Each structure stands twice: as structure tokens, then as C-alpha cells.
A and B are shown apart, each in its own frame.
Chain A
Amino acid sequence: KNQVEQSPQSLIILEGKNCTLQCNYTVSPFSNLRWYKQDTGRGPVSLTIMTFSENTKSNGRYTATLDADTKQSSLHITASQLSDSASYICVVSARSNYQLIWGAGTKLIIKP
């Protein structure tokens, strides 16, 4: 069964610190992996999209990595800011039908 699992479920860090969020997936055949940021009450906003051949991609202070062999991805946030408080959702697309399989997300809280 195609699944996406994320850890931790929630995370609290102090402003200015770095953090890393994890995503493991069992989607096959793999097409691409995305990280979304979702602020409370808002729709998800895309941070990165990575295909099979890409193993790292950055978007400002966000850096995503992908290991297609172990089917793992991480999202690293550098020098966190209060505005980074949100849910971060890992989404994997299956090449067979391009359906997006969504993880449950990691709720990140940045404290001053």
C-alpha cells in the first residue's frame, strides 16, 4: 500500500535554531516528492518538488533532501523564524497515476 509517514508528529524549537523533519515513503513507482508548508487555516503552499534524479533542493532557508534508494526525504530549516510555525507536509506522487499521497504532516512551533 502506498504510504507516506512523517516524523516527528510535532516539534517545538527556539527562534534561530535549525531543525530537520523526516519523511519515509513506500510509494511505487515513484514520480516525485514535494514538501508543502501549511499555515493554520490556510491552503498548503509548495516549498520544493524533487524528482528521482535530484537528491537535494533548496528554497531560501529550506533545504530538502531525497534518497530514492532508502525512500527517505528530509526538510531542513535553517535559522528558524517565528513565521516558520506551520505544518510541513511531505507528499509523494506515484508515476502510475500521478496521485499525490499525503503525509499527516509535522506541526512545527517556533518559540521566541
Chain B
Amino acid sequence: GAGVSQSPRYKVTKRGQDVALRCDPISGHVSLYWYRQALGQGPEFLTYFNYEAQQDKSGLPNDRFSAERPEGSISTLTIQRTEQRDSAMYRCASSLAPSGSGEQYFGPGTRLTVT
């Protein structure tokens, strides 16, 4: 079946604007993860969900970042009042098993550029 998909693939926005990044996990996958990855670095954990419940949001940098997964499938990561330091690749991953115990499959990412 289809893998994890993310949209948009590229997003350029002006400082101060809000952006919403979408992740469509593999069908039936219980867990969904959001990561941010700077160039040349490993992914940095942001938050994750089991079904629709947000289990851990300790990695969200500040209160401008929020995420939801209202029906336990598609998730949206929202960044309000974007700043230039928010520019990065945002990656989503899903896993069949809950709570990080299983294989994670990554989407292609959304490259966010804040000008």
C-alpha cells in the first residue's frame, strides 16, 4: 500500500504567518510522530500520537507549535507566527505498533522556509 505522505512538500512563508503541515500515515498505523530535521543533523523529536491521543509533546520548541490528530489518522502540525529559525525539514513517521516500540516509516518531509 501507499507509504506515509506529507503535504505540502515545500512551503515558503513570510515571517509572522501561520503554517499548517499535513501528514497522512500508512493506513492502520497506530502511532504517528513529528520530527524536525536541520541540514546535516539527525531528526529532532517534536511530538507523537497513539491513535488520536497526543502522548508526548515535550519536543515542541514553544507554544507556537501545536499538533493534532483528531480522528486517529491524518495529523496536522501547526506553527503560528512563524520565525526564520523555524525553517527546517519537518518529517512525519508512522508505526503499526503503539508508543515507539515498532518500526517507523518516514514520509518525504515538508521543507519549510520562513523568509
Contacts and interface: CB of A to CB of B under 8 A. Distances in A.
Contacts of A105: 41-42
Contact of B56 (A31, A89, A97, A103): A97
B54 interface: no
Interface size class of chain A, counting residues whose CB lies under 8 Å from the partner chain: 20 to 34
Given A42-B108, A44-B106, A98 B101 contact: yes
A43 B106 contact: yes
Counting chain A CB atoms within 10 Å of each CB, the highest count among B42, B100, B103 belongs to B42
Nearest to A45: B106
Counting chain B CB atoms within 10 Å of each CB, the highest count among A49, A91, A98, A102 belongs to A98
A98 B107 contact: no
A73 interface: no
Contacts of B35: 102
Interface string B1-19: 0001000000000000000
A65 B42 CA distance: 21
Given A43-B91, A46-B103, A93-B100, A102 B44 contact: yes
Interface in B76-110: 91, 93, 99-101, 103-109
Contact of A100 (B55, B58, B100, B108): B100
Interface of A: 31-32, 42-46, 49, 87, 89, 91, 93, 97-105, 107
18 contacts: A42-B108, A44-B43, A45-B106, A46-B104, A46-B105, A49-B103, A87-B42, A89-B43, A93-B100, A97-B100, A98-B99, A98-B101, A99-B56, A99-B58, A100-B104, A101-B45, A102-B45, A104-B40
